[in-house]
Amino acid sequence: MWGINFKAITRVIGILLCIEALFMLIPLFTSVYYGERDTFPFVYSTLITAITGGLLLLFSRNNNERSGKKEGFMSVTLSWISISLMGALPFILNGDVNNFTDAFFESMSGFSTTGMSILEDIDSSCHGILLWRSLSQWLGGMGIILFSLAIMPMLNSGTGLYLFSAEMTGVTHEKLGPRISQTAKRLWGLYLLFTVISFILLVIGPMDCFDAVCTAMSTYSAGGFSTKQASIAYWNSAYIDYVVTFFMLLSGINFALVYRSVFRNPKYLFQNEELKYYIISALIGTLIITTYLIISSSDFFDIEWSFRTALFTVVSGLSTTGYSVVDFCDWGSFFFFIICVCMFWGACAGSTSGGAKMIRSIILLKNTANEFFRQIHPNAIRPIRVNNNTISHEIVSKALAFLVFYVIIILLSCITLSLLGLTVEESIGLAISSISNCGFGVGGENPDAIFSILPQAGKWVVLFNMLVGRLEIFTVLILFSPYFWKK
């Protein structure tokens, strides 16, 4: 029916749920160590997830049919929904939330690395729950499907390439080896390495070991979940601010580029055009906000605090991490606009950050410049070049189509949220923040706003935005296209 190999899709989901069940053992053991009330909820969650995954694998055995792009798109979308559904079990079984929508919201916010939280008192949450929140973001940052491709070579046949392409962000996908599994292993190895380095640097400061583990995972995944209600501001430490800022900035750089720069030749890092745009954007935003903070501060000479706060906020927005050290909503509408622009564009493709990605802004700007040039020279052929490579018309067309759909979804979300009672600024801020997987509660809300005040319908709008934002729109929306279901 419809020419789709449903057994192949079921197999992928089954494998991922089994992997998720294994990772649930980590917060389970943490809960046992601290002797808290979330032990049995994690036991039940692990069993339910493992049994469900096992049954799906049993159902999909003896599959000899071929798989292709359709199976790849459907597998990725349904897998992310499935792992988020199972990831919601600890929250609802432990009593942290009282309904399915809130539990699914918290879980999807974790796996999509959005960082919007329903929990109203994070400081009193159990250690197992806090670790699961950060672990879900760490898995979702690089991608749990990419992890499965790294550890299970059997997935590389059939749908492997399509799974890789559908989950990874950006307009093109660079392979670091002849096989997808080699690329996945190298990316995950680098991801783990920098997470460990981040943990070591954080634990040297005022953070204890548990907070450092959770913060390291949430920072390098560009997730933004914190173990404290006050987020990073809780530690009131310049050292912590700078360490977190550095790794937020690093999380926004293309992982393939970082890998080639670290293990092959550092010159790649300095020759990349998208990275230059990313750094320049961060510097310009930091300069503008630093100037404002210095001028408006009662203590004119507190330049270091102004610079550190501005840099942290801008990088948090650009990398779509969503951490905060100050209530920037008090700065005024102009800075609300700056933060929204940062969230909209995000950082580099192939990173853990969300947003539309810098590479698409580069393509948009250069294509626009070409259109002006063609007005004077209509017969001229002037290709778009990025990093001295010619960008094909197909990639340009896809990038522009992506931006159109991105803006349309934001506008529809704004209209829907405003109909549900939110102000215009709240609707705009929440729509951009959710589809960019940032987590800032900009626009009338505190940046660490408690999103439980949203009406139920509003939460589902935000949930949809989180999913399509993480999977970059087409992977999800293609399932609603009549072309997908035709043989």
Print pLDDT tens along the chain (487 aa).
567 878 888 988 998 999 999 999 999 999 999 999 999 999 999 999 999 999 999 988 877 666 677 878 888 899 999 999 999 999 999 999 989 999 999 999 999 999 898 888 898 899 999 999 999 999 998 877 777 666 665 554 555 655 666 566 666 656 555 567 777 788 888 899 999 999 999 999 999 999 999 999 999 999 989 999 888 999 999 999 999 999 999 999 988 888 888 888 888 888 899 999 999 999 999 999 999 888 887 665 688 899 999 999 999 999 999 898 888 877 888 888 899 999 999 999 888 898 999 999 999 999 999 889 888 888 877 888 888 888 888 889 999 999 999 999 999 999 999 999 888 888 998 999 999 999 887 655 555 555 767 889 999 999 999 999 998 888 889 888 888 777 6
Structure tokens at 223: 């997730």
CA distance 140 to 217: 10
Angle, vertex CA 483, rays to CA 479 and CA 487, nearest 5: 105
Cβ within 8 Å of residue 200, ≥6 positions away? none
Torsion sign, CA atoms 260, 263, 265, 270: positive
Could you report how far apart the first and last alpha carbons of the chain are, in Å?
Answer: 8
Tokens 């912590």: give the residue.
240
Q: Per DSSP, which regions of 383-445 are E strands?
A: 384-386, 389-391
| Class of residue 405 by CB neighbours under 10 A (exposed 0-12, middle 13-18, buried 19+) | middle
CA 149 – CA 348 distance, rounded (Å): 23
In single-letter form, the type of residue at position 171 comes to V
Residue with tokens 């789709």: 4
Give the integer Cα–Cα distance in Å for 390 and 66: 34
